[in-house]
Amino acid sequence: MPLPAPPIDNRRYQDLVDELIARIPVHTPEWTNFNASDPGITLIHLFAHLTESMLYRVNQIPERNRLKFLQLLNIGLMPAQEARGMVSFANGSGTAAKLLLPSGTELAAGSVLFRTANALDILPVETRCYMKRAITVDAETADYYAMLYASYGKPAPEGYALYESIEVDPLKGVDFSTAMDRTMWIALLGRNDDKDPTTPEDVWTKVRTALGGRTLSLGIVPGENDDGKTLAPAGVTNPVSNSLSFALPRGDIAIAMDADGVPAPQYLDLAAVADFDPMSQPGIIQLTLPVASQIKSWSDLDPLESGVGDLPPFIDDDALAGRVVTWLKISASASTNVRLAWMGINAAQVRQRIEVNAERLAEGNGEPDQQFTLSKAPVLEGSVKIIGVSTGGTREWQEIDDIAAADPEVAVFTPGQPMQQVFPDRFTVDHEAGLVRFGDGLTGRRPALGETLYASYAYCEGREGNVGAAAINSGSLLPAGISVSNPVPTWGGADSEGVASGEKQVRRRLQNRDRLVTQGDFVSIAWRTPGIDIGRIEVIPASHPDVMPVTAGSVPGAVTLMAIPAFDASFPNAPRPDRLFVSALCNYLDPRRLVTTELAIRGPSYVGIWVSIGIEIAGGQSAAEVVERVRAQVKAYLSPLPREGLSVADFVEPLYAPEADPALRGWPLGRAVNARNILAEVARTQGVVSVADVLLAQGTASAVDSVAMEGLQLPELLGISVTVGDPSPLDSLRGATPVESGTTVKRLPVPVMAETC
């Protein structure tokens, strides 16, 4: 429930009467008659009645007054945040000619409208994504390949590794580490309708001509799991990740052989244009394709050359292989572990926003402090534009943060000083309320009498914009033959902040002015990050997660912030932050930190534990109910999130109540998990008479008395067994957990040959 505002004075009529009578001997000791018939007592009763009435009215501060107090403090409520996402267009039956989709194209997910944030070339090709996955070479297979090479009069390579071409479904994730060459190969396939029978030597001439010189928009969404992100101090360069390289085959040049007789194909490197880090943020990488004569692939290869070495993967399906126009080779550096949730071409970013153009507000009346309300609220920050039309012409008003900082209508001339340039056409916007305010003449211009004002702005649906995958599937302005879909769910949509929540920020805003300085500033400001549900925030000042031990004061100038989402469908008992969660925190905290502060945002490092408990239950109790209560009690005790029933406000310096016990925030950092403590927690459960024993183990190890936790480590309950009597053995609880290990040896990639009759 919302935190109620405190009463200014809770004294009642009788309290006032008793207090006044008690003060009589202090001020007038000669007054000794306190009977109800005494005239002085009658006056006390009268003033006590009047005072109680005034206190009652003061305590009933209306909502309008409280909002006005926030406005006077210039502390507005946080407006709604637009949802963001990624869409991919498919040119199934559209034109092969140049097709440029402009920025701002309207798309829809049911009744929720989106707009593209960037223009893109929609290329007339389909795609398939492949990788080379290594397979084991046994003695029989080695002999077979030795005979195969011998039949062609060539010796088998001294060192080679067989692989199979695996088609990767981008919707299920792309992991470069599973490919033997850390490379993903995207086959650009021509459409059957675009075949040119007049050029039998190359039926895809028409497609190559259509692709020449155009821009390929490659969309990238980082993988779900992430270890965190570090915001370096200002002035320390953070270049766009160069972990990925892009190339096309030089099919116009014959394949040469190296000294060992291995094919050495040449590739044309493509320059990648991106304004984001593709390893941690979703975005679009723009690749400019070469001229049509260089968009080729190799054909008529020797059977022993096809797919060997650095050549594109071998495709068994002849019909599909015949549609390959060229290959896009995407390679990851050996030092990075690249995992993507999705990757595809013809991609664009989208924003959930609705545009309102030229909405007529009203006519100006020439008075100071004019204000107008937009028809839709809340509005998006930075989207409001106002045009004023009068007999003197048209002028464009400009938004400013604080109207008190605007220039006066008429420049003030100071003798001996040059005339200053004046920019009086200013206005401010309360984005949450959709309220536009103008100046009073001394600070900002007043709309003139009869001046008609027109506003253009954008608003959004808040959380309604967070739609699932494939929900965006239509667009009224899409060209014929073009379809659209969002491969991953949209993210970042958030509703406007309520009055109750805004009031809680008054004291903190006055203390920190929305700047990250103290430990409390980091906690309270991070909680307000829009678009994500935060379950827990921990801040360790003067520390860095890469410097052990992670303790306060170990690394001056750095701050470690551990954040845990409130929900995680994949790991409900141990939520893990994904890249989008971490990016939202980074984007919100980055402009609010000091330029000298290095901020490391991380999720917890979970330590898997197993617990087996044996109990004795009281007579008349249901064994199933008691066992379930014990399981729930232990899960809540070891949970990384706050106890059920506690809200965010309990941990962010509440204004009118004492802070909740820090132990209730979730398992404390640095506290070891002790079997005896679990035993004490179980013994307090209703229906438990005694506890036979508690077995505790980490991973596949044997039972121990305690499991240590260091740095950002928190316990993750992998399994729990509660039985009546002695506890079950840990091995029966966790089962066999084989651990596979091995080493990677670099060898010549050779495709496995399909079996023939």
How far is the C-alpha of 421 from the C-alpha of 111, rounded, in Å? 47
Do 209 and 300 reside in the same domain of the chain? yes
Domain-ending residue, one of 603, 621, 647: 603
Q: What is the pLDDT of residue 614?
A: 94
Distance of alpha carbon 313 from alpha carbon 307, whole angstroms: 5
Residue that finishes a domain, picked among 311, 345, 379: 345
Give the closest residue to 191 by CA, choosing from 139, 123, 143, 238.
123
Q: How confident is the model at residue 410 (pLDDT cuts 50, 70, 90)?
A: confident
Please tell me the distance from the alpha carbon of residue 686 to that of residue 702, in angstroms, as a whole number.
30
Nearest 10 degrees: CA dihedral of 709, 658, 589, 565? 50
Tell me: pLDDT of 279 over 60: yes
Q: Which two tokens stand for residue 69?
A: 């107090």
Please choose, from the candidates 208, 358, 375, the residue with its C-alpha nearest in 3D space to the C-alpha of residue 294. Answer: 208
| pLDDT tens profile 494-522 | 888 776 666 666 666 666 677 888 888 88
Q: What is the DSSP letter of 474?
A: B
pLDDT at 391: 86
Higher pLDDT: 214 or 413? It is: 214
Neighbours of 84 (CB within 10 A): 22
Would residue 496 count as lying in a domain?
Answer: no
Mean pLDDT of 636-642: 91
What is the C-alpha to C-alpha distance for residues 54 and 698, in angstroms, rounded to an integer? Answer: 65
Rounded average pLDDT over 344-351: 94
Task: Tell whether 473 is covered by a domain.
Answer: no
Of 317, 331, 313, the residue nearest 163 (C-alpha): 313
**Residue 165 · residue 130 · CB < 8 Å:** yes
CA distance linking residue 55 with residue 70, whole number of Å: 22
Q: Phi/psi at 151 (nearest 5 deg)?
A: -65, -20
Query: Is the pLDDT confidence value at 656 over 50?
Result: no
Contact 606, 718 (CB under 8 A): no
Give the C-alpha distances (Å, rounded to integers) separating 504 from 3, 247, 378, 675.
9, 54, 20, 40
What would the pLDDT profile of 529-556 be if each residue is shown by its tens digit? 887 888 899 999 999 988 888 888 888 8
pLDDT value of residue 652: 52
First to last CA, the chain: 74
Confidence of residue 26 (pLDDT cuts 50, 70, 90): confident
Is 525:516 a contact under the CB 8 Å cutoff? yes
Q: Is residue 38 part of a domain?
A: no
pLDDT per residue as tens digits for the range 282-301: 889 999 999 998 898 887 66
Q: Is 479 helix (H, G, I), strand (E, B) or coil?
A: coil
596-625 residue pLDDT tens: 889 999 999 999 999 999 999 988 888 899
pLDDT at residue 275 above 90? Answer: no
Higher-confidence residue of 82 and 134: namely 82
Q: List pLDDT tens digits, range 666-688.
A: 899 999 999 999 999 999 999 99
CB neighbour list of residue 53: distance below 8 Å, 6 or more residues apart:
none
- Asked if residue 287 lies in contact with residue 215, where contact means CB atoms within 8 angstroms, the answer is yes
Q: At what angle do helices 63-72 and 499-512 cross, to 10 degrees?
A: 30
Whats the size of the chain, residue-wise?
757
Look up residue 163 and give its two tokens.
């692989």
149 and 253 co-located in one domain: yes
Q: What is the mean pLDDT of residues 386-396?
A: 90
User: 594 and 530 in one domain?
Assistant: yes
Q: Is residue 238 predicted with pLDDT exceeding 60?
A: no
- With contact defined as beta carbons under 8 Å apart, do 310 and 265 qualify? yes
Residues 662 and 613 in one domain: yes
Q: How confident is the model at residue 135 (pLDDT cuts 50, 70, 90)?
A: confident
Q: Which residue has the higher pLDDT, 653 or 437?
A: 437
**pLDDT mean across residues, the chain:** 82
Token pair 């030597």: residue? 201
Lowest mean pLDDT among 336-345, 459-468, 480-489, 508-517: 508-517
Place of tokens 């000294």: 259
Pick 434 or 157 by higher pLDDT.
434
DSSP state of 294: G
One DSSP character per residue, 360-379 reads EEEE--S-SS-EEE-SS-SB
- Residue 438 and residue 537 in one domain: no
Q: Residue 312 and residue 132: Cα distance in Å, rounded?
A: 9
Q: Which two tokens stand for residue 463?
A: 């959380």
Question: Angle at the Cα of 744 (from 742 to 750), degrees rounded to 5?
Answer: 125
Kindly state whether residue 500 falls inside one of the protein's structural domains. Answer: no
What is the pLDDT averaged over residues 678-701?
92
Query: Is residue 458 over pLDDT 70?
Result: yes
Helix ranges (DSSP H) in 639-714? 675-683
Q: What does the pLDDT read at residue 511?
A: 66
Q: How confident is the model at residue 258 (pLDDT cuts 50, 70, 90)?
A: low
Burial class from Cβ neighbours inside 10 Å (0-12, 13-18, 19+) for residue 344 reads buried
Q: ∠577-579-581 over CA atoms, to 5°?
A: 55
pLDDT tens digits along 554-584: 888 899 999 999 888 788 889 998 877 888 8
- CA 220/CA 288 separation, integer angstroms: 17
Q: Is residue 12 part of a domain?
A: no
Contact (CB, 8 A) for 640 and 564:
yes
- Domains contained in the chain, number: 4
Whether 136 and 186 map to the same domain: the answer is yes
Secondary structure of 580-622 as H, E, C letters: HHHHHHHHHHHHHECCCCEEEEECCEEEEEEEEEEEEECCCCC
Smallest CA-to-CA distance from 228 within 491, 651, 598 is with 598
The residue among 416 and 739 whose pLDDT is bigger is: 416
Q: Are residues 255 and 309 in the same domain?
A: yes
pLDDT exceeds 70 at position 137: no
Question: Do 384 and 428 lie in a common domain?
Answer: yes
Q: Domain containing 672: what range?
A: 606-734
Q: Identify whether residues 339 and 362 lie together within a single domain.
A: no
Q: What is the 3-state secondary structure (H, E, C) of 480-532?
A: CCEEEECCCCCECCECCCCHHHHHHHHHHHHHHCCCECCHHHHHHHHHCCCCC
**Residues 454 and 538 occupy one common structural domain:** no
Do the beta carbons of residue 682 and residue 713 sit within 8 Å? no
pLDDT at 2: 35
Q: How far apart are CA 670 and CA 662, in angstroms?
A: 13
Question: Rounded distance, CA 491 to CA 238, Å?
Answer: 25
Kindly report which listed range (67-81, 372-386, 420-434, 644-658) carries the lowest average pLDDT score.
644-658
Maximum Cα–Cα distance for the chain, whole Å?
130
Regarding whether 448 and 395 lie in a shared domain, the answer is yes
384 with 455, same domain: the answer is yes
Confidence label for 419 from pLDDT (cuts 50, 70 and 90): low
Cβ partners under 8 Å of residue 479, min gap 6: 94, 95, 99, 101, 122
- Ranges of beta strands (E only) in 173-323 are 174-175, 183-190, 215-222, 228-231, 244-249, 256-257, 263-264, 267-269, 272-273, 283-288
Please check whether residue 465 lies inside any domain of the structure. Answer: no
Q: Which 3 state secondary structure label does DSSP give 77?
A: coil
Give the pLDDT confidence score for residue 8 in this predicted structure.
64
Whether residue 598 is contained in a domain is answered as yes
Q: Which residues contact 68 (CB under 8 A, 6 or more apart)?
A: none
β partners of residue 229: 601
Classify residue 399 by burial, with Cβ atoms within 10 Å: 0-12, 13-18, 19+: middle
Q: Which of 543, 575, 603 is the last residue of a domain?
A: 603
Helix (H) or strand (E) holding 387: strand 385-390
How far is residue 631's CA from residue 723's CA, in Å, rounded to a whole number?
Answer: 10
Q: Closest Cα partner for 561 from 411, 393, 712, 409?
A: 712
Assigned domain for 754 exists: no
